[in-house]
Chains A and B, each alone.
Chain A
């Protein structure tokens, strides 16, 4: 297989999908299945049309995710760090993580709605919920797999508990932490959009609200697709523009992953 064969295959696949889509949409003319040119026209329109302002919705969503992701990641790091030094805490926390990691955030929505109300706080809690458990799992696994020689070397240099955690355990497990953040991000992003669609109107309307409005208020399916395309683009941008860049400048540079 030549070097470019996989890339060509992917490209060919995408082209075939596009052609099929366009042909199907044009011949059948179903409302929920608009042709691609309409979708892209709509996408451009949503950028410029003051009534739609899709970027504002997207910005709100990204802000929520960013807030939740940062708090969730810090919490996960803190709680996992306590696990590294306390056996009792570790036993309890492992149980908590296994229980809550299995619970989809959206299932908690009804409870959040009556306890904290249908507002941004509920969304934030939901995002934190989807980040903190999978990240804790990754970090704890990473801590357990930290080579003993790094820890002994650190103790030998005179590092205390905090020094060992931030000077040895965290960099030694950075690959796991990063993969934890990736899983957390994916879950948070999905959880957030689901919640927004169910909630409808939180204080700051996100991209999920946009999709819901397009479906129910504006009855405009090309807009629904435009939002979906945007969500995909954000995902790709985060993967290649954020995670891969961080990876290249850290664990890959350090020779810790190939």
Chain B
């Protein structure tokens, strides 16, 4: 497997406290990494460093190049529903990153946005504005936008955290299906163990000191269900780890 992201000695802190300390992580192509951790452990900060939104010490290399600023090759999907531009329709939102980066062919743009609108189950909503959509639909569009660009890496910061349980489950399933069929590498932050086990091909647990304490391949056969073999044992390990870190 090809190394995509290589993080060495990543340290990040604010004046009064340190958040990440000497963190090492290597991500390989086509991995779906889920990072679990208690609130405030620095999961989001780690993601923002990888995205290029934060200064840091240490090294982050993406495809061998150091990360110094945000770039579309590391596309972010935020937790906030309002990440879509309200002045653009669903299809314009999906097309915009492609347009900004030089794709001008209208027919091609339309074809790509239609394809990804279909993949996230929003056929017929191409001309809708974000304010006409529900929270779950907006997150679907945000995911479609990230996938359509075909970035090297997609960074998802608890994209389903604010959704109701039913919508959340169906989006997890859809994302699991899509990621299995596309060549994508994803780092997905969550504090929901079920979500991590459903989506991840590799699951990590971060502790409050900003260190990775569990790093495990997810060998549970897909699609993952609570009744799948190995689910209970893995869930237990992470649940115990999380409980320990939360105390």
Contact = CB atoms under 8 A, between A and B. Distances in A.
A147 B87 CA distance: 14
A19 to B, nearest CB: 46
> Which of A147, A158, A250 has the most chain B CB atoms closer than 10 A to its own CB?
A158
Interface string B126-166: 00011110000000000000000000000000000000000
Given A167-B100, A254-B129, A158 B83 contact: no
A141 interface: no
A157 B93 CA distance: 11
Majority secondary structure of chain A interface residues (helix, strand, loop or mixed): helix
B71 A153 contact: no
A149 B80 contact: yes
A158 B98 CA distance: 10
B132 A159 contact: no
B76 interface: yes
Contacts of B69: 155
Top 7 closest pairs, chain A to chain B, by CB: A255-B131, A157-B97, A171-B87, A155-B70, A158-B72, A254-B87, A254-B86
A185 interface: no
B231 interface: no
B62 interface: no
B85 A152 contact: no
Contacts, number: 60
A158 B101 contact: yes
B85 A158 contact: no
B56 interface: no
B131 A254 contact: yes
Interface string A22-51: 000000000000000000000000000000
B83 A159 contact: no
Contact of B78 (A153, A172, A253): A153
A256 interface: yes
Given A158-B101, A167-B96, 14 more contacts: A149-B78, A150-B85, A155-B53, A155-B69, A155-B70, A156-B74, A157-B100, A168-B85, A253-B129, A254-B87, A255-B130, A255-B131, A256-B87, A256-B131
30 contacts: A149-B82, A149-B83, A150-B83, A150-B85, A152-B53, A152-B76, A152-B78, A153-B76, A153-B83, A155-B70, A156-B51, A156-B70, A156-B72, A156-B74, A156-B75, A156-B76, A157-B96, A158-B100, A159-B100, A171-B85, A171-B87, A172-B85, A174-B87, A254-B86, A254-B87, A254-B131, A255-B86, A255-B132, A256-B87, A256-B131
Interface residues of B, number: 24
Interface residues of A, number: 21
B87 A250 contact: yes
Contacts of A255: 86, 129-132
A60 to B, nearest CB: 36
Interface in B49-101: 51, 53, 69-72, 74-76, 78, 80, 82-83, 85-87, 96-97, 100-101
Contacts of B131: 254-256
> Which of A149, A171, A250 has the most chain B CB atoms closer than 10 A to its own CB?
A149
A163 interface: yes
A163 B51 CA distance: 19
A147 B72 contact: no
